[in-house]
Structure 1
Amino acid sequence: MTTETPTNGRFSKRKVGIVSAVVGVAAAGIAAGVATERILMGRNRRITDADPYKDEPFGALGADETRTVTTADGLDLHVEIDGDPAAPLTVVLVHGFCLDIGTFHFQRKLLRTIRGVRIVAYDQPGHGLSGRLRSGEYSIQQLGRDLRTVIDETTPAGPVVLVGHSMGGMVIMALAEQSPELFGVGQRVSGVALVASSAGEMSGVTFGLPKVLAKVRTPLLPVITNAGRLTAPVWDRARQAHTDLAWMLTKRYGFGSTKVSPSLVSYVERMNASTPTDVVARYVRTIDAHNRFPALTSFEDSPTLVIVGDEDLLTPVEHAEAICRVLPLAQLVVVPNAGHVVMLEHHEAVDAVLGPFVRNLVPGGAPS
């Protein structure tokens, strides 16, 4: 005899049926959209002489120094350092989820031109060239401790500016939560730049999907996490096989412009694809649970820059505005026609504010 599962925090059979129906309808709509866009794929993805980045050396900038920093839980982090070791200011770049050091391609080129600045960039655990956990889930709390380790081992003295994109901004908030004494006037962290990031309430993000579908995400997180780990090899093969779909999703969720460089989309898609499925699955829950609004108060006495694209579907403008409500003295910059990877898509606009922000924090430098 079949019995209905009690509603004690689990889905009942009826609820599972409703969720399945909703997902099915959404999947049908997505499939129809994909089929239509596939017709245009050959033209959209083709790199031509009109592509401004067809010769851009993405992923091949090099560094003055490459170093390995080992975290408290034994993971080796890949670190790249540029600039004079005696520079009076160090800028630490903290990338986001499913990306790597290459996220800050254009910003590294900019910062290399600023006198008195040294650059430290590293791959987060499970990303890029850094090591992966053998078991268990990743946590933003641990990533905050990892950031502290990177700072201590690469920059034992002198002021630091932290620049975080997306999850990287969340990691900076976790560090502030754990070590508020590092932040403020005259302290180690003299400034913070948060790019397309959030202080919490990620469970409310719809990703541009119907709200009824977005609402089922949180209850399904344990299923997604466990299934992702168990079926990772299958999903990895599928991701590699369906590169057109991956490219289209990257363009949809990473960019806001109607016309964007195919080379740029392909570069971001390669970073996404290089993050293994089991790593993706083991990050999902900690990002969804992220809530560090109280930690923002540690930035009150530090210059803070908040940048977001007005078409960002992953960390919408409302999340940047929520940060600035806690930090009314922060500088908010909303970039038009920009998506989640705003610092790549519209790097000129981002660099135009990040450059002066950093120059003003160089000890002894002339204010911009």
Structure 2
Amino acid sequence: MVSRNKRRIGIAGAVAGVGAAGVGAAVGLRRLAVGRVRLRQDPDADEPFGELRGTPMTVLADDGLPLHVEVDGPDPSDGAVPLTIVFSHGYTLNQDSWHYQRRDLRGQGPDGPRLVFWDQRSHGRSGRGRPDHATVRQTGEDLYAVLRATVPPGSPVVLAGHSMGGMTIMALAERHPELFGDQVVAVALVNTSCGDLAEMTLGLPMALAKLVRPLAPGALRGLGRRADLVDRARGLGADVAFMVTKRMAFADKHVSPTVVAFLEEMIRSTPIDVIAEFYPALIAHDGLDGLEALGRVPVLVAAGGQDRLTPAAHGRRIAEALPDAEFVEVDGAGHVLPLEYPGVVTGGLRRLIDRVRPERQERSA
């Protein structure tokens, strides 16, 4: 009986978390599930996921919480004013979710951009925040602290945010609009929303979604109150978690199983109580007030046509509200464009970089 109960908790943690969070709390061990998905050669099998590291530093948030930050690229102390890209990751993930962008944009010499990656509070290597500080407004203030600590005055910045990371940027824009058009010169918003997430269907028929939606907050709170037990039992739902992650996060049926397993590992590393704490803030998110400041700079908005969590209509709504936005929709993509279609995201960032490089602006002046 005890074993059966633990298994139910493990699977419940997977399904409730994924359904509520997006790519949520899909859990379990990587094990042999990767090999069972598809017996074919995996071009990403040898990709060093989670191994790319920058120069680490600790940034203190305004409430004293230590935030883990890593920096790649030229040292601005030599008097140069390099372009910096600051990456904010999504809910239940960490900075390694930007693996391909980090790989392809780093190491471009003194003329290349500096890259700043950070783990949002209670995620990755950052400190565990107070439950009442698990809000989008707070993550916006955290990003402000990261900017102040990593970007020299006068150095231009491009902000890139995926999912919750995009909401973090909107919160920063609402609280610190003076940064946009001055220091922040461009923004990339990927698989994100400016509100109305309570209406998402998770790919379910609308009638069923309306039945499931009210249950998610209570289910997650219940799991959060039993965090120790749930986290110990999560591995028991390994195969279920892998397949749920694949279905909820990706749309490409040929997606690398190694990529799916990498995403699932990041999700599994996020404690269930953290997932429970952030969920209400994401569902209640309203970033409309931040769009006015975002309208001062070029913005890339990228969406997945099969995104069950932040549907493409949410990205389209953001793009339509901005005067200088490029909207890119990948029809066959899900919720994690940085991993599923990395070239689309990296290419979009390169276009933003080309538009706002200081030397280019000087030539056109």
- Matched with 1:107 is 101
Q: Deviations over 1:184-231 (max 9, x none)?
A: 2xx010000000110000001101123233224554455235313211
Amino acid at match of 1:173: M
Amino acid across the alignment from 1:170? M
8 Å contact from structure 1 (residues 221, 285) kept in 2:
no
The Cα of 1:238 is off from its aligned counterpart by 2.7
Matched, 1:141 2:133: no
CA distance in 1, matches of 2:156, 2:266: 30
Q: Mark the CA change 1:217 to 1:146 in structure 2 (over 3 Å): closer, same or farther.
A: farther
1:355: how far off? Answer: 1.4
* Unpaired segments ≥5 residues, structure 1: 1-22, 28-39
Gaps of 5+ in 2: 1-14, 20-31
- State how 1:77-226 maps to structure 2 within 5 Å: 77-86=67-76, 87-114=81-108, 115-136=111-132, 138-157=134-153, 158-184=155-181, 187-216=182-211, 219-220=214-215, 222-226=217-221
Percent identity (aligned): 44
| Structure 1 counterpart of 2:37 | 45
CA deviation string 1:102-142 (max 9, x = no partner): 11101112221553310110000111111112443500000
Partners of 1:344 and 1:220 lie apart in 2 by 30
| CA distance 1:42–1:130, change in 2 (3 Å) | closer
TM-aligned CA deviation for residue 62 of structure 1: 1.7
Q: Measure the CA separation in 2 of the matches of 1:121 and 1:81.
A: 6
Tell whether the 8 Å contact from 1:110 to 1:355 is kept in structure 2 after alignment: no
Distance 2:56 2:250 in 1: 30
Aligned to 2:27: none
Equivalent in 233, 237, 249 of residue 242 of structure 1: 237
What CA distance in whole angstroms lies between the structure 2 residues aligned with 1:164 and 1:269?
20
Q: How do 1:1-368 and structure 2 match up within 5 A?
A: 44-45=36-37, 50-63=41-54, 65-86=55-76, 87-114=81-108, 115-136=111-132, 138-157=134-153, 158-184=155-181, 187-216=182-211, 219-220=214-215, 222-365=217-360
Secondary structure, counterpart of 2:359 in structure 1: coil
> Match for residue 3 of structure 1?
none
Which amino acid in the other structure matches residue 161 of structure 2? G
Q: Show CA shifts across 1:31-78 (max 9, x none).
A: xxxxxxxxx967543675x10101000000121x10011112221111
Residue 47 and residue 347 in structure 1: after superposition, are their counterparts in 2 closer, same or farther (change >3 A)? farther
SS in 2 for 1:60: coil
Give 1:176 shift: 0.4
Give CA-to-partner distance per residue, 1:272-293, whole Å, 9 cap, x none.
Answer: 1000000000001000000111
Match of 1:12 in 2: none
SS in 2 for 1:136: helix
The DSSP-based 3-state class of the residue aligned with 2:231 is helix
In structure 2, relative to structure 1, the CA distance for the partners of 1:216 and 1:283 (3 Å cut) is farther
CA–CA distance in 1 between the matches of 2:180 and 2:35? Answer: 49
Deviates more, 1:352-361 or 1:161-170: 352-361
Q: Distance in 2 between matches of 1:71 and 1:269?
A: 28
Q: Tell me the CA shift for residue 154 of structure 1.
A: 1.1
Partner letter of residue 132 of structure 1?
Answer: R
CA shift in 2, pair 1:230/1:346, >3 Å = same
Question: Larger relative contact order (C-alpha < 8 A, sep ≥ 6)?
Answer: 2
Q: Which amino acid aligns with 2:296?
A: D
Amino acid at match of 1:81: V
Q: Which runs of 4+ in 1 moved over 6 A?
A: none
Distance, in Å, in 1 between the alignment partners of 2:288 and 2:157 is 22
Shift of the 201–135 alpha-carbon distance from structure 1 to 2, 3 Å rule, reads closer
User: Which SS does the other structure have where 2:142 is aligned?
Assistant: helix
Deviates more, 1:87-96 or 1:262-271: 87-96
Q: Report the AA paired with residue 199 of structure 1.
A: C
Distance 1:223 1:99, change over 3 A: same
Question: If you compute each CA radius of gyration, which structure gives the higher value, 1 or 2?
Answer: 1
**Alpha-carbon distance between aligned partners in 1 of 2:132 and 2:162, rounded to the nearest angstrom:** 24
Find the aligned partners of 2:36 and 2:246 in 1 and give their Cα distance: 10
Give TM-score, length-normalised by structure 1. 0.83
Is the deviation greater in 195-204 or in 87-96? 87-96
